A = this chain, B = another copy of it.
Amino acid sequence: MTFIEKLSAAWSANNSLLCVGLDPDSGKFPPHLQKQTDGIAQFCKAIIDATADLACAYKPQIAYFAAQRAEEQLEEICAYLREKYPHIPIVLDAKRGDIGATAEQYAREAFERYGADAVTVNPYMGYDSVAPYLEWTDRGAIVLCRTSNAGGSDLQFLNVDGRPLYQHVAQLVADKWNRNGQCALVVGATFPSELAQVRALVGDMPLLVPGIGAQGGDIEATVKAGKTANGSGMMINSSRAILYAKGEVGEDFTKAARRVALETRDAINRYRI
C-alpha cells in the first residue's frame, strides 16, 4: 500500500482530515511526565491513544526530539504507531533538503530508521534533492510550497515571471516531480486564497496544511479553499492546541487533548461537503 492509499483509507476510516502534530516540549508536560527518562515517549503514546480514532495522520516534528537527545524515543513512538495503528500514516516533519548522496541518507533515516510513510522536504535545492525519497515507491515526499510563518513571504512571494515563487513550486511538483503520485505539498492555513490557488494548480494532490490552532488559521476558510471535489485532499495539522490543551477542572491531559482533537475534526468536517 502506498502513502497516498494509506492516507485515503485513514481519511475514510476515521472520517477525518485532522493531522495531529507531535511537537513534544518536555517543559510543557504534566509534572509526573517531566521527571521520567522516557517521558517524551510516554507523553506522545498517551496523546496517540487518546486521538487514534480521530486522526488521519500523525506528524512527529523531529527537531524536538533532536534538541532533547531523544531519537530513540522517536523510534519507539513510530514503532508503537506502526504496530498498534498500522492504518494511520506517519509523516516525519523534517523539512530535509540536500544533494542526492546526502538525501539518500536522510531517506534512510526517515523511512528505514523511523519507518515513516512520508517526510517533509524543502524544494530549494531542486529535483535531484527530492528524487532519492521517491525511490522509496511506497512512501511520500511532502514538498514545502507556501508556509504559514511570517517570513514565509520573503522568498515564496517573490515575483517569478508574473506570479509568486510558491506557485511555480506547486506547478513544478505537479507537472514534473510527482511522477508516481508520491508527492504532496505543504501550504499554510493562514492564507486561504493562496491555498485555493494551489489547489487549482495541483488537482487532487494532498496538501499538508499547518496553521490551524496555535497559529490562528480559520477552519471554515481553510477547508473550503483546500478541499478536493470529494471533500478530502488535506491533512490539516494541529500540534500545540491539542498536545497542550487547557484542561477543564478535573480533566487530565489526554482527555483535554481528545476533546480538542474531536472539536477540531468535527469543525473541519462541517465544511467538507
In the complex, the answer to whether B67 meets A149 with C-beta atoms within 8 Å is no
Give Cα A156 to B156, complex, Å.
Answer: 12
Which residues of the other chain, B, contact A95 by a CB distance below 8 angstroms? 96-98, 122
Judge whether A204 is part of the interface by a CB distance below 8 angstroms. no
In the complex, the answer to whether A64 meets B160 with C-beta atoms within 8 Å is no
Judge whether A13 is part of the interface by a CB distance below 8 angstroms. no
In the complex, the answer to whether A148 meets B105 with C-beta atoms within 8 Å is no
Give Cα A158 to B162, complex, Å.
Answer: 12
Judge whether A53 is part of the interface by a CB distance below 8 angstroms. no
Among B108, B128, B147, which residue has its beta carbon within 8 angstroms of that of A125?
A: B147
Give the shortest distance, in Å, between A106 (CB) and chain B (any CB).
5
Judge whether A150 is part of the interface by a CB distance below 8 angstroms. yes
Among B98, B123, B127, which residue has its beta carbon within 8 angstroms of that of A63?
A: B98
In the complex, the answer to whether B149 meets A100 with C-beta atoms within 8 Å is yes
Give the shortest distance, in Å, between A238 (CB) and chain B (any CB).
14
Chain A positions 57-107 with a Cβ under 8 Å from a chain B Cβ: 61, 63-64, 66-67, 69, 71, 95-103, 105-106
In the complex, the answer to whether A126 meets B99 with C-beta atoms within 8 Å is no
